[in-house]
Amino acid sequence: MGDQSSTRTVAAPPPDDLLPTCDPEPLFSNLNQAAGILAAVSGGPDSIAMMHLLARWGSERRPFLLVATVNHGLRPEAAGEAAFVAREAEALGLSHRTLVWTGDKPATGLQDAAREARYRLLVHLAREAGASHLITAHTLDDQAETILMRLARGSGLRGLKGMRRELDRDGIVHARPLLDWPKARLVDLCRQSGWAFVSDPSNADERFARARWRRLMPLLAAEGLTADRLALLAGRAARADEALEIKAHQALKAAEPVAGEGELSFRAACLAGEPFEIGLRILEQALGLIGLESSRLQRLEACLERLRAAIPAGRGLRLTIGGAVLHLDRAGRLRLRPEPPRSRGR
Ligand SMILES: Nc1ncnc2c1ncn2[C@@H]1O[C@H](COP(=O)(O)OP(=O)(O)OP(=O)(O)O)[C@@H](O)[C@H]1O
């Protein structure tokens, strides 16, 4: 996260005669059709490089651009950093807004809360400004660290897909155009181009898991587990995940689903007959069809195990999961409906 401990501004050396040739056109070509772009710039080298590259992006087809910095109100330096980004943006002819997180700060899970607040503020501003896209400067290294952290948590295939290049955040497309770029390349680009940036020591603060994983990266790379290989794994996991989703969709469609009044029912035999992984996804998709987020993988697995034991035995079963009540009748039909509000969260 951008601002959890003290930072200092690095005065970059003057521009080198041999500026690295870096064409922003292919980098941002997916954004040509955007109805306005909000660029999230913390002041670190990654997002400062993104801002400079955006400013150099061919002006003809470029959608309107707005730059924003979030001051989480967690460090005294944060206001100065936002002002620094504002000045840099102005010098490039770009509009800039500073957003301040004024809400209560939780005693635990501060990083997660700050991230959530950051995206809430950014998405709100994007909507207000009429921007269709929010872009952040996540790099290949961020992707590799994310995958390692998810591996360590025993994540499923979906987690191993890593961060997505594009996702929907409440109707705004969140895009990560630098996801294939090693961080070192962006830092070099800043230094060689004379682009000043803010250096954030919290990136090396080992109280944070991401920093500890970052420290391990060279050791892992020496054994072949490089950021590139982790990204390769993520791409393959994404491909397998997509295939399994399609198979689960087909299985659910063939199970005579009947939807009505926020409910869904279907023949449950597929949950026992299909491979376990497909069964999990059928359940998740069914929950999605009644408007519920998928539950934690472990809970979903436990739920499916019970269903798989009951279905062949012709036993009825009633379960709750992820805000849903599941009712398996003796005829082998499973009905899902949202839990009544009063009993939720017990
Ligand atoms: N304070 C901030 N203001 C504006 N943008 C920010 C700020 N902090 C982070 N960002 C954006 O998010 C990108 C990723 O930053 P960082 O790696 O610090 O995020 P993170 O806390 O790991 O969150 P995420 O879940 O998005 O990975 C930055 O390159 C920048 O585009």
What interface predicted TM-score (ipTM) does this complex get? 0.94
Residue matched to tokens 């607040």? 117
Percent of the chain with pLDDT over 90: 76
Query: Candidates 48, 142, 169, 208: which one to mutate for ligand 1, based on the most atoms within 8 Å of Cβ?
Result: 142
| pLDDT of 183 | 94
Which sign does the torsion angle of CA 167, 206, 51, 20 carry?
negative
SS3 177: coil
Residue nearest to atom 14 of ligand 1 (CA): 138
CA of 308 to the centre of ligand 1 (A): 42
CATH class of the domain at 239-338: mainly alpha
CA of 223 to the centre of ligand 1 (A): 29
| pLDDT of 59 | 61
Q: What is the dihedral of CA 173, 178, 179, 184, to 10 degrees?
A: -150
Residue nearest to atom 26 of ligand 1 (CA): 115
- Which numbered atom of ligand 1 lies nearest the CA of 135? 31
Q: Fold for 25-223, please state it.
A: Rossmann fold (3.40.50)
User: Binding site membership for ATP: which residues?
Assistant: 42-47
Which range (176-180, 233-237, 294-298) has the least confidence? Answer: 294-298
| pLDDT of 109 | 86
CA of 118 to the centre of ligand 1 (A): 8
Residue nearest to atom 31 of ligand 1 (CA): 136
CA geometry: angle 275, 277, 279, nearest 5 deg = 70
CA of 146 to the centre of ligand 1 (A): 13
Q: Write the pLDDT tens digit of every residue in 135-178.
A: 999 999 999 999 999 999 999 999 999 999 999 999 999 999 99
CA of 232 to the centre of ligand 1 (A): 23
Measure Cα distances from 277 to 272, 284, 299 in Å.
11, 11, 14
Q: Where are the domains of the chain?
A: 25-223, 239-338
What letter does residue 343 receive in the DSSP assignment?
G
Q: Write the pLDDT tens digit of every residue in 308-321.
A: 999 999 999 999 99
Average pLDDT over residues 20-39: 86
Distance CA 302, CA 153 (A): 18
Residue nearest to atom 12 of ligand 1 (CA): 136
- The better pLDDT of the pair 296, 172 is held by 172
- The better pLDDT of the pair 201, 307 is held by 307
| pLDDT of 114 | 93
| pLDDT of 209 | 85
For residue 99, pLDDT over 90 is answered with yes
- Which numbered atom of ligand 1 lies nearest the CA of 136? 31
Distance CA 82, CA 165 (A): 26
Q: Which pair of tokens denotes residue 86?
A: 């504002």
- Ligand 1 residue neighbourhood (C-beta within 6 Å): 1-3, 40-42, 46-47, 69-70, 115, 118, 136-138, 142
CA geometry: angle 126, 127, 132, nearest 5 deg = 70
Please compute Rg for the chain using Cα positions. Answer: 24
